[in-house]
Structure 1
Amino acid sequence: MSIHAVKREQANLTWDNSIPPAITIDSGDTVSFDCLDASNGQLTASSTAADVVRMVFSQCDQVNGPVFVRGARPGDTLQVDVLELQPGAWGWTAIIPGFGLLADDPEFQEAALKIWDLERDLEEGVTTFRERVDLGVGAAGSALERIRVPIRPFCGEMGVARREQGAFSTIPPYHTGGNMDTRHLTRGSTLFLPVEVEGGLFSVGDGHAAQGDGEVAGTAIETSMKVKVRLTVRKDKPYVNTPHFVSRTAERGAEMGYYTTTGVDPDVREAARSAVRNMISFLAAEHGLDRREAYMLCSVAGDLRMHEVVDMPHYLIGMMMPESVLSGH
């Protein structure tokens, strides 16, 4: 096994299978990435809400890579083991006018910015609303120091190149990954992506220190991120045609393991239907269930979640199956 590195400047603003690889590796190798925050350096620890308005949106959500994995061919699956995630010393959360689930709501047409001191809070594992909240000219912030947010770092962008020619925006998620903004892809999780081009061409970016399911306002705690992943070509998961992942998540007062399938579609109902169908295919292939049995199990044990709802034209919905149900424990 070899260890490789992708530098901070080796980044792109589109998914495009014509972009030359930043590096070439063997299956099973480990790669480290040094990623800027989603603003691509346009915001700093001293920024204000006025800087949010001046931000060039087309320069945001860059991804580092791509990485060519030898032996990865169309029809294969790329396994991405998330080994390390180190957020930066600070992060930001913003209301960006015209963006987010409530983009057309008159109440949220003014920019706002919260700067988080992560360096101070990383050791404790939680951060708070305190200081550095700028709600715009003439606005007064609230005393929110009692609000404590667990720090659970992950990368919002992880994906491979699409088979279609041309440049595709990094803003939405796709069936090949991309801006999934899925908070469950923390350290120790494993992501499976469908390979559509030779080498896969994997990229990563959009570091988050914390986020809820859906990322409804359009930003999480955005931060730079140092990432280490292991990339392995799998020939035995032909049913993976959207992102799947294995994760451990704090749910119902305990750490629970899940196998998750996803659906990506401009119609939220169709995205949900796709996620369920993909779980049925997984249960049939990996656990030998009849597809009708699998459909019933999805209804009684699966959790359907909105993982990404703001980066149109696509929603990303997950069907999360507890591993305890599948293992019999």
Structure 2
Amino acid sequence: MVREMDIKYRIYIYDKNRKPAMYADSGDIIIFHAQDFVENRLTDEGILKSSIIKAGFICQPCNGDVYINNAEPGDTLKVTIEKIEITAEKGTIALFPPDFEVYGKYLDREETIKVPIKDGKAIFFGGRLELPVQPMIGAIAVCPADEIEDTVTPGTYGGNMDCKYITEGTSLYLPVAVPGALLNMGDAHAMQGDGEIFSALEVPSCITAKVELIKNRQEKWPILETEDKWYVIASAESMDEATKEAMETAYHFLVKRGGGYGKKEWIILLGMVGDIEVCNVVDPRVSIRLGIPKKIAEKIIF
């Protein structure tokens, strides 16, 4: 069944006690309508992020929650991204002084920059440069079990991982921690470099996703499946800590599913072909991904 989530349902924190906006079954296709990171409020370059913050704006709305019938702690929710449609003619870059960090010494003022998007390309600097858009989902999550987190913060539940590979045709496996899972998503980017080291091209979006419940099987951290790789995505206060979490989870994921190799062999292979890559370094927790090529893990099935 195809179900559509109204854009009016927005969340800013993950809370297991909140009444769901929608109920769905395993196998359903859900259409999410997500605002951009500032609720679509920066409609022109004369409006600044600081002004909407002063007016009470809360950053990063996500469209949700969806209660998945029969989902229980210990299960996994597989979310396959079938389509990401950018629903605006322009993307937004907010040059906001608290976010300048390293580049603060080179930037002298706050600005809102609107970037036209046409025929699959983002048009920068008055037309001097055109780059192909690569729509991705910045924040996608189920609800954590014990803590109330905001949608800006990534964790074991997913969240604001800002992984540029969460895009059309990929599947994200999220560990269910509460009854119903409580799925939500938002914060789409038309394009973003690894690390999101300064900004992304923020856009509102319409996201079509298929949900499938995998009973009695899960990993500690989200697992992303692309056409050619398996990734573990882990988030922590430091890059070192996130990397250790991803290494540990990747080991258990590969060993539990066998794939024709033993424990020591998988460790050796992780050293030979495993790639540590950065998703984001700007959120309250950094996120990294550890990828392993499917060509050496052909027998791995989540």
Is TM > 0.5 for Structure 1 vs Structure 2? yes
1:158 corresponding residue in structure 2: 140
Cα pair distance change 1:296/1:93, threshold 3 Å: same
**Residue 235 (structure 2) aligns with:** 264
Q: Could you say which residue in structure 2 is the equivalent of 1:179? A: 160
State yes or no: 1:129 paired with 2:108.
no
CA 1:42–1:149 in 2, change beyond 3 Å: closer, same or farther? same
298-307 or 89-98: bigger deviation: 89-98
Equivalent residue for 1:275? 246
The residue aligned with 1:53 is: 50
Runs of 5+ in structure 1 lacking a partner? 132-143, 249-256
Structure 2 gaps, min length 5: none
1:110 correspondence with 2:109: yes
Q: Secondary structure at the match of 2:7?
A: coil
For 1:292 and 1:98, locate their aligned partners in 2 and report how far apart those are by CA, in whole Å.
46
Write the distance in 2 (CA, Å) between the matches of 1:100 and 1:79: 36
> How far, CA to CA, are the matches of 1:59 and 1:26 in structure 2?
31
Partner of 2:38: 39
In the TM superposition, residue 110 of structure 1 has moved relative to its aligned partner by 2.7
| Secondary structure, counterpart of 2:220 in structure 1 | coil
SS, match of residue 199 in structure 1: coil
Counterpart in 2 of 1:192?
173
Q: Specify the alignment match of 2:222 in structure 1.
A: 243
Match of 1:309 in 2: 281
Aligned length: 295
**Cα contact 1:193–1:242 (8 A) shared by 2:** yes
- State the Cα distance separating 1:266 from its structure 2 match: 0.4
Q: Give the drift of 1:212.
A: 0.9
Separation in structure 2 between the aligned mates of residue 72 and residue 19 of structure 1, nearest angstrom: 16
Alpha-carbon shift at residue 100 of structure 1 (Å): 5.6
Which whole-Å CA distance do the structure 1 matches of 2:277 and 2:289 have between them?
5
Mapped partners of 2:100, 2:247: distance in 1: 26
CA RMSD of aligned residues (A): 1.9
Q: Runs in 1 of length 4+ with deviation above 6 angstroms?
A: none
Residue 109 of structure 1 deviates from its aligned partner by: 5.8
| Deviation string, structure 1 residues 193-251 (Cα, Å, up to 9, x no partner) | 0100000000011111111111111x31100100111111112533x111111124xxx
Shift of the alpha carbon at 1:282? 1.6
CA distance in 1, matches of 2:75, 2:108: 44
Q: Name the aligned partner's letter for residue 286 of structure 2.
A: Y
Q: Deviations over 1:161-191 (max 9, x none)?
A: 11015x3211121110111111101111000
Question: Which residue pairs with 1:23 in the alignment?
Answer: 22
1:318 equivalent in alignment to 2:289: yes
The alpha-carbon deviation at position 292 of structure 1 amounts to 2.2
Q: Following TM superposition, by how much is the alpha carbon of 1:302 offset from its aligned partner in structure 2, in angstroms?
A: 1.2
Question: 1: CA distance between counterparts of 2:251 and 2:135?
Answer: 30
Percentage identity across aligned positions?
A: 25
Q: Judge conservation of contact 1:81–1:188 (CA < 8 Å) in 2.
A: yes
Q: Which amino acid aligns with 1:99?
A: D
Q: Report the equivalent of 2:64.
A: 65
SS at match of 1:237: coil
- Distance in 2, matches of 1:109 and 1:177, equals 35
* Residue 12 of structure 1: aligned partner: 11
Cα distance in 2, alignment partners of residues 97 and 75 from structure 1: 42
Tell whether the 8 Å contact from 2:94 to 2:111 is kept in structure 1 after alignment: yes
Aligned to 2:245, what secondary structure does the other structure show?
helix
Corresponding residue of 1:251: none
Contact 1:87 1:223 in 2 (8 A): yes
Are 1:221 and 2:179 an aligned pair?
Answer: no
What are the Cα deviations for residues 258-301 of structure 1, in whole angstroms up to 9, with x where unaligned? 11012211021010111111111121122253232212111111
Q: For 2:94 and 2:159, locate their aligned partners in 1 and report how far apart those are by CA, in whole Å.
A: 21
